[in-house]
Amino acid sequence: MQHVPTHLTPRVVPEPNRESFEQVVLPHLDAAYTLARYLLRDEQAAQDAVQESFLRALRHFAGYRGENARAWLLTIVRHCCATARTRRRRELTFVEFDERQHSEHVQSATPELHLVRSDTSEAFHRALDALSAHDREVLILREIEDLSYEEIALSIGAPIGTVMSRLSRARKRMQALLHRESRDAS
Amino acid sequence: MPADATHLWYLDRLSAHIDGELDAGEALDVGAHLATCGTCAAEYTLLLNTVESMRQHLPPLRAPNALRERVVAAIHTPILPREHTFRAARSFRPWAVAATVVAMVGAAYGIGARSSVSGAPAADAVLNAHVRSLQQGHLTDVVSSDQHTVKPWFTGKLDFSPAVPRLESEGFPLVGGRLDYVANRAVAALVYQRRAHIINVLTYPSESSVAVAPHLETRRGFQIANWSAAGMAYWVVSDLNADELRTFCSLMREAGAAP
């Protein structure tokens, strides 16, 4: 469930039922965008990842067994975001200097979302950015996507016990970071 | 913070208690403990406040309308079998025959044959056209993501009509087109985009009807691909990574074969 093995895509792609896909999966577009936007922190990269996720989901729709569609889609989004991050890192490492491209990376490294946020919201985003990738992920899935522990476990491919302890740790870490922020501010 | 094992057991469960994710027995147990232990109750309130304020300051987002349209369009576009892409990628690989290919390219393309049999000056001319196009205001003469706007624009400006495939559902939106000159001949330049990467496609009738297999090379940090098919020569140049540019080329080739 947690792996979408694109390299195992069958040679003959069965024609998916596009109408049923649109009814079952498309309603979760906002959720998909939210996850990608928070994980990648870059508008263009997030939109690309969402589009790629829907195409991947469509290709694998035949294998979808009617379980929780949102958790199923978010699993795919999570994978696409991981791929996008790897690709971005690779480009940053190997591509020769190119002003347009590198200035884009500079922008995406600066969380431009912050510009439109209040100071308080900014503190929350900063704290979220300071978490480890694992902690940030469960926190986004729980607080922002409002998934149950079981759905999160499904999405990240980990036991519920791991979700529980990771979430508990992530929240305490957020609490400490926010506390430090407010103490530094005063 | 209390350090003994009993308190730690409860503290570890406060987060799940907030979410109502403890089993019934544990939930009762934690509830009873919170009613009698001031320290744990204070921790619980603190954590609850943190969770509530996170939910307030980290809101769920709405997908932009443009994205919604893109996704809906993508859903209704026929799926490309993946194998296709792989086969195209593989056909780029026989470097052993690269020299032969380059010689054929030289023979097949007027510009290559005119300047050198190696095809390298042609690649340089294409690369220069690409770099020139990136300078402000030189990228496109006609700006449109609609092939029905871009294709007719070339009519009357060129003695041929280039295929202008629509590839936005594959993540390569059309930006526009322009007239360009490469090695003394007018060519159609189609401009596509992948994220922040501009892709220039230069195309013109090839002087030979021999089809030439795709060839990809790196030059001054840019990827340059070229091939010819159905009497047309194609040069693709971009700073996009090689994998994605191969995908783009195989999409262009499929579209070119069936205009």
Q: Tell me whether A173 touches chain B (CB under 8 Å).
A: no
Q: Of B186, B232, B212, which is closest to residue B177 (Cα–Cα)?
A: B186
Query: For residue B225, which phi and psi values (nearest 5 degrees)?
Result: -120, 145
Which domains does chain A possess?
Answer: 14-110 (1.10.1740), 117-186 (1.10.10.10)
Per-residue pLDDT tens digits for A146-184: 999 999 998 899 999 999 999 999 999 999 999 988 888
* B53 and B90 co-located in one domain: no
| Cα first-last separation, chain B | 72
Alpha-carbon separation of residue A46 from A42, A70, B73 (angstroms): 6, 17, 18
- Asked if the C-beta of A76 comes within 8 angstroms of chain B's C-beta atoms, the answer is no
Q: Does A30 touch chain B (CB under 8 A)?
A: yes
Q: Are residues B26 and B106 located together in one domain of the fold?
A: no
CA distance A87 to chain B (A): 9
Residue B39: give the domain boundaries. 5-57
CATH number reported for the structural domain that contains residue B96 in this entry: 3.30.200.100
Query: Which residue is it, tokens 């209040």?
Result: A118
Averaged confidence pLDDT in chain A: 80
What CA–CA distance (Å, rounded) separates A174 from A57? 33
pLDDT over 60 at B45, yes or no: yes
Out of B16, B60, B239, the one facing A30 most closely (by C-beta) is B60
Residues B92, B214 contacting (CB under 8 angstroms): yes
Higher pLDDT, B83 or A59: A59
> Within this chain, do residues B130 and B207 fall inside the same structural domain, yes or no?
yes
Same domain, B245 and B117: yes
Quick check: is B74 in a domain? no
pLDDT beyond 50 at A104: no
pTM of the entire predicted model: 0.54
- Mean pLDDT confidence for B97-104: 44
Q: Are B128 and B22 members of one domain?
A: no
The single-letter code of the amino acid at B195 is R
Complex-level ipTM beyond the 0.90 threshold: no
B88 and B53 in a common domain: no
Instruction: Dig out the tokens for B123 from the structure.
Output: 């690649």
Contact across the interface for B79 and A58, Cβ inside 8 Å = yes
When divided into structural domains, chain B yields a total of: 2
Same domain for B90 and B44: no
Number of H helices, E strands in chain B: 11, 7
Q: How far apart are CA A144 and CA B180, in angstroms?
A: 50
| Cβ-nearest to A50 among B71, B196, B197 | B71
Q: Which residue shows structure tokens 């400490």?
A: A176
Would the CB atoms of B57 and A121 count as touching at under 8 Å?
Answer: yes
Indicate if the pLDDT at residue A6 is higher than 80.
Answer: no
Is there a domain that residue B173 lies in?
Answer: yes
Pair (B124, B240) in one structural domain: yes
B215 CB neighbour count, 10 Å cutoff: 21
Better-scored residue on pLDDT, B180 or B142:
B180
Q: For residue B198, tell me if it sits in a domain.
A: yes
